[in-house]
Amino acid sequence: MKVGLSLSRCLRDIVEAKVLFEDVLVVIARTDLDPYNDAHWKQIFDGYLYGGVSHPEWAGMEDEEEHLRHVLKQLYDHGKLHQPRQFGAHPTRLPYYWLDTFAPEEEIAKNPAAQKAWDNYKLIAGLS
């Protein structure tokens, strides 16, 4: 499971199939928007497409507007979009934007296949 830390970059990765929607636990965005509000969407889309107030993370994705908004609405509808600005917080932009999460080791231990995969992952991670 993944935790995203950037709406623009995470949506781009999902639309470009670098990350599966099903693998996303939550995206913690620095936005305060309603994806069903056309004015909010237009402002966000233009900002991420052309830059200005934000980084142009969607440069060259003009033809993906419908797909980007669809994924945003899915995140919102499935409770996978958290926007701290709606509660007065102002998170900073980070250079990384995906965090991987893992099941607790006691849960992994209950499943021999999961335990073997976890052990292999730890071995490989230790090599890098």
DSSP characters for the chain? Answer: -EEES-HHHHHHHHHTTSS-GGGEEEEE-S----TT-HHHHHHHHHHHHH-SSS--TTTT-GGGHHHHHHHHHHHHHTT-EE-GGGGT--PPP-S--EEE----HHHHHT-HHHHHHHHHHHHHHHH-
pTM: 0.79
Report phi then psi at 75, rounded to 5. Answer: -55, -45
pLDDT at 98: 95
pLDDT at 128: 61
The rounded distance, in Å, linking the Cα atoms of 28 and 108 is 26
Q: Letter for the amino acid at 89?
A: A
pLDDT at 86: 84
The rounded distance, in Å, linking the Cα atoms of 17 and 64 is 13
Q: Say if CB 2 and CB 101 are below 8 A apart.
A: yes
Q: CA separation (Å) from 3 to 17, 58, 105?
A: 16, 20, 19
Q: What parts of the chain have a pLDDT lower than 50?
A: none
